[in-house]
Structure 1
Amino acid sequence: MHALTMLGRWKERSLTSAEIAASLESNPVLVRRILGSLRDADLVLSTEGRNGGWSLARAPREITLYDAFAAVEAGPVLSRHPHPPSGECEVGRNIQALLEVEFRDAERAMEARLGRTTIAHLVQRVLDIERDLALPR
């Protein structure tokens, strides 16, 4: 989401993985790995060469936080039991089914919330915060 917001903020040019990594205080190789997942999801494009780099594949208003989340996260958000609990216990027999309903509802709520916010929203919020910080106090 950080990388996509940067690409949306400076959409008039491509950004290198090194530029994005510097903002993330991360390693360009790790950033390229994440950007590769975003490219596979058709959220970013990469170009090679002297002026190459990364750019958004769609307008920032067309990319939601859920799009980004789904591109880089696999599996459920909330952990399930790594192994089946005891069927001899009344809690053990029932807890997985009970929690599955709760976890599924929570994950749907998160998906809906992330689906309402776009990269354009984040870019605008960054600009608003920066503007407010620049105002005389």
Structure 2
Amino acid sequence: MTRATLPALTIAAHALAWIGLYQRQGHEVATSEQIAASANTNPVVIRRLLGELRRSGLVESRRGVGAGWSLAREPGSMTLLDVYEAVEPGPLFAMHRTTPDQGCVVGHGIQPAMQDIYEGIEETVRQELGRVTLEDVLRDVLGAPR
């Protein structure tokens, strides 16, 4: 892959699952520091992803005393496609950074050929992500059967 798409999706899913479990344990909000410790990353990374998830309506934030993050929707109504679209709105695969030599038969035809392939892969990925809810992920994390 040419971009870090899946790590962003994975870290965002990790954060959402962590918040979901934390809320089930009776806590109202989780801090980015708590989530970052679980993901073994910097809280700034978590805050950036949570900001994108907030703009997409997947999480809510609270400021001031008791500041933190909570899920804006039930885990069963949130798919991995929702998460993917929130943190990675662009295509999964990218083309050349500059236009290939259009006078060359390969340079002229490579982008249309690859674009068709990439669109098929992207559609398959989107369908699969749309089938899995955050509830499914949390269930798998906790080792419960589906």
TM-score (norm 1): 0.88
| CA distances 1:102-136 after superposition (whole Å, capped 9, x unpaired) | 0011111111111111110011111117x9xxxxx
Gaps of 5+ in 2: 1-12
Q: Structure 1 residue 51 and structure 2 residue 66: aligned?
A: yes
Q: Which amino acid aligns with 1:6?
A: W
- Measure, in 2, the Cα distance between the counterparts of 1:92 and 1:71: 33
Q: Deviations over 1:47-86 (max 9, x none)?
A: 1233221110000011111111111113211121111111
**TM-score for both structures, normalised by structure 2:** 0.83
RMSD of aligned C-alpha atoms? Answer: 1.5
State which of 24, 36, 50 in structure 1 corresponds to 2:39. 24
- Residue-pair matches, total: 130
Percent identity over paired residues: 40
Inter-partner Cα distance in structure 1 for 2:41 and 2:65 = 23
Aligned partner letter, 1:71: A
Which AA in structure 2 matches 1:30? V
The aligned counterpart of 1:134 is none
CA distance in 1, matches of 2:67, 2:84: 25
Structure number with greater Rg is 1
